[in-house]
Chains A and B, each alone.
Chain A
Amino acid sequence: MSASKIDGAQLDNLEGGDGAKSSSSPDPGVLVIRPPSGWASLELKELWAYRELLYFLIWRDVKVRYKQTALGAAWAIIQPLFMMIVFSIFFGKLAGMPSDGIPYPVFTYCALLPWQLFAHALSESSNSLVANERLITKVYFPRLIVPISSVLGGLIDFAIAFVILLGLMAYYGIAPTLAIFALPLFILLAIITALGVGLWLSALNVKYRDVRYTILFLTQLWFFLTPIVYSSSIVPQRWRVLFGINPMAGVVEGFRWALLGRANPPAALLAVSAGAVILILVGGLYYFRRMEANFADIV
């Protein structure tokens, strides 16, 4: 075999074996290992080739979580349910927080759902590389799989907690409108936000273990910046678009619109949120890719 010199950036990191196909390579089976180049491509094709590993990692996390806890899947419900009860008593009843005419328990639970999904995904993904240190130092696979799997793992809990919301809606006689079909979009938005931030934090966490301590602080702060216990309508109109820079504001308002039948979609807010999400994700992917080559050496 004499594979001639070929374009480095294209072949750098190419997957070996059956899945590897590259138009620029004269010999698609040959894997070339080179020093990391400054510019790293996303290698989505390789990511796709490893989709089964992604599935197994999610499956492992979910299975282990439910095996190790006494209450198992019940945890998915207990957390948002108790938070909802406490919030309804203190913010809804005692403080009389306005909830746009929606019964306060549904109002806040509907926001707690995507928030829990997000907060869980964020903390899991931020710790994911460190938690999977053994894998990273002993086996090759696209490292992106690790934070992605930990973000997606939260969807199961979300689905379980969602059933309670449907119960609450039925209890308060709120019928979903056609807008419910937009819901997956907002779920996606929450996941991508968590992933974008999680990519930054997980890569940083490999190098600086301080990150672990900032996550709790960050999520607490972020919680109050997100209209969960309050409605974004209490934010003055002219600040409201700026408020959308926090993508979770868009997600939460989107959830309320899609499920609780508000008249107009929070379009401007959502547009800003979507823009912010894209920036976070692209930045996170870039940073993660740049740091990736060193993970095994420094984790």
Chain B
Amino acid sequence: MGDVAISCERISKRYRIGERESYRALRDSLASAMRAPFRRFRSSSKRSNGHEAGADNTFWALNNVSFEVRRGEVVGIIGRNGAGKSTLLKILSRITKPTSGEARIDGRVGSLLEVGTGFHPELTGRENIFLNGAILGMKKVEIKRRFDDIVAFAEIEKFVDTPVKRYSSGMYVRLAFAVAAHLEPEILLVDEVLAVGDASFQKKCLNKMQAVGEEGRAVFFVSHNMSAITRLCQRAILLDEGRVLADDLAHKVVGTYLRAGTGTMAAREWGENSPGNDIARLKAVRVRTQDGQITDVIDIRQSVGIEIEFEVLQSGYVLVPNYYFINEEGVCAFVASDQDPEWRRRARPVGSYVSTAWIPGNFLAEGSIAVGAGVSTMDPTTVHFYESDAVAFQVVDSLEGNSARGDYAGHVPGVVRPLLEWTTRYNPKREPAERHT
């Protein structure tokens, strides 16, 4: 067995538009067969050779994708919806075939495109473990051998013989993942399954996947969860419209992805029609590191500056720049407004202003943060402008052990993650010999 677990060479996949979603009625097929001679005649003059969308109702879900994955590597696949991530996984797990190109896979593959595939609600937990195990490619003896581990991992000991339709959704997901987690493949293909289950169970799954990577097996992991990608994967591949846009260290690729415009960016400037009124107008918002670099990825230990540039068109107003910080779940982590004594309760003269608020390191939790930026007057309350999603950035936690997560690798809940000061009082236990003297 060689060092390379997966190698993809110029993999392409073409879909007919609408083919993926819907089946056809025979009638439609007959109708299109009748029209076909005419259509062929019309399109023959402009048939394209390249892999371009639009030609005869097809599009390329994957377009000349090449890469290699070595043993022991945990590789993340990111990209927008429709970028081809799932298609790539489906080809690697042999559910569908490529239109052209070739992939080589060296080792036993376990693919987890969905948790609980083939679970039947009428069957008991025990029965579903065997059924699901067989579907995932386990031999009956293997399932028998790992049965107790699976049940323990899923924490469903008391309900093994209850039909899964009576399970809570949490139990259902735990059981489903437990079966998959005990597959022990040499190559694990995983699609966005960690989006389910409660936080503590997600942690367990992440740890399990990390363990798989450490055992020298390859993990190929598709996710929208950027913090999971940066935490789990050393390397990431960014797909965009079926092409490989970046293939590099995970945190670099995540940065590229966020910059590449999913509506989130580290710096934004407004021109003619900028938000505002005849008193104040927004000109720009930027995310900066301590040394002034514009960035969209911030190490959790570093402080980050949010800069707002605005123009005052009429003097005589007290203006308060303010920010809202919204995390990926839509929760407002906190709100900040400028309380600098220099401009507090002081009317601003006409001109251009740049204000920066510094968020300390070890404060925000990891994940992506969208910043809403505005300028208001407090008395009477007037919002001169407020731009939600003005900028966004990504907080990345490290596994070096000196952030608030310490050496713990799993999911850490909470919108903030401060590194607190801890104190300990220690009372040494007396030696038993001394006690009785």
A27 at the interface (CB under 8 A from B): yes
Residue of B at shortest CB range from A60?
A: B131
> Least Cβ distance of B156 to chain A in Å?
20
Report if B140 contacts A (CB, 8 A). Answer: yes
B97 contacts A56, C-beta separation under 8 Å: no
CB pair B123–A63 under 8 Å, yes or no, is yes
* CB neighbours of B134 from chain A (8 A): 52-53, 55-56
Q: Do A140 and B117 touch across chains, with their CB atoms under 8 A apart?
A: no
Q: Is the CB of B29 within 8 A of A208?
A: yes
Is B120 an interface residue when CB atoms closer than 8 A count as contact? yes
Q: Which of B98-106, B211-219, B385-393, B402-410 contacts A (4 or more CB under 8 A)?
A: B98-106
Contact with A31, one of B4, B109, B113, B114 (Cβ below 8 angstroms): B109
Contacts of B94 in A (CB 8 A): 13, 31, 33, 140
Docked Cα-Cα span, A27 to B137, in Å, equals 21
Give min CB distance, A49 to chain B, whole Å.
10
Q: Is the CB of A33 within 8 A of B97?
A: yes
Separation in Å of the A124 CB from the closest CB of chain B? 16
- Whether the Cβ atoms of B29 and A34 lie closer than 8 Å is no
Interchain CB contact under 8 A, A29 and B107: yes
Chain A CB within 8 A of B248 CB: no
Instruction: Please report the C-alpha to C-alpha distance between residue A118 and residue B24 in the assembled complex, in whole angstroms.
Output: 28
- Distance between B259 CB and nearest chain A CB, rounded to angstroms: 33
Q: Once bound together, how far apart are the Cα atoms of A38 and B71, in whole Å?
A: 34
Question: How many A-B pairs with Cβ below 8 Å?
Answer: 132
Is B122 an interface residue when CB atoms closer than 8 A count as contact? yes
Number of chain B residues close to chain A: CB under 8 A: 50
Set B23, B100, B118: member contacting A208, Cβ < 8 A: B23
List residues of chain B with CB within 8 A of the CB of A53: 134-135, 137
Q: Which of B85-93, B198-206, B269-277, B423-431 contacts A (4 or more CB under 8 A)?
A: B85-93
Q: Which chain B residue lies CB-closest to A66?
A: B122
Binds B, one of A101-109, A130-138, A174-182, A215-223: A130-138
Given A30-B105, A60-B131, also A35-B95 (CB < 8 A) = no
From B2, B3, B29, B95, A137 is in contact (CB under 8 Å) with B95
Contacts known (A31-B104, A31-B105); A296 close to B90, Cβ less than 8 A: yes
A75 within 8 A of B: no
* B353 adjacent to chain A (CB < 8 Å): no
- The residues of B that contact A296 with a CB separation of less than 8 Å are 90, 95-96
Report Cα–Cα, A123/B3, bound state, in Å.
48
Q: Which residues of B pack against A, CB within 8 Å? A: 1-4, 15, 19-20, 23-27, 29, 90-109, 111, 113-114, 117-118, 120, 122-123, 127, 130-131, 134-137, 139-140
Supply 13 further A-B pairs (C-beta < 8 A) apart from A35-B98, A52-B139: A1-B3, A29-B1, A31-B94, A33-B103, A52-B134, A52-B140, A67-B122, A139-B113, A207-B29, A294-B96, A296-B95, A297-B19, A297-B20
A-B contact pairs, 27 of them (CB 8 A): A30-B105, A31-B94, A31-B109, A33-B97, A33-B104, A35-B98, A53-B134, A53-B135, A53-B137, A56-B131, A56-B135, A63-B122, A68-B122, A136-B95, A138-B95, A139-B93, A139-B111, A139-B113, A139-B136, A209-B23, A210-B25, A293-B97, A294-B96, A296-B95, A297-B19, A297-B96, A299-B23
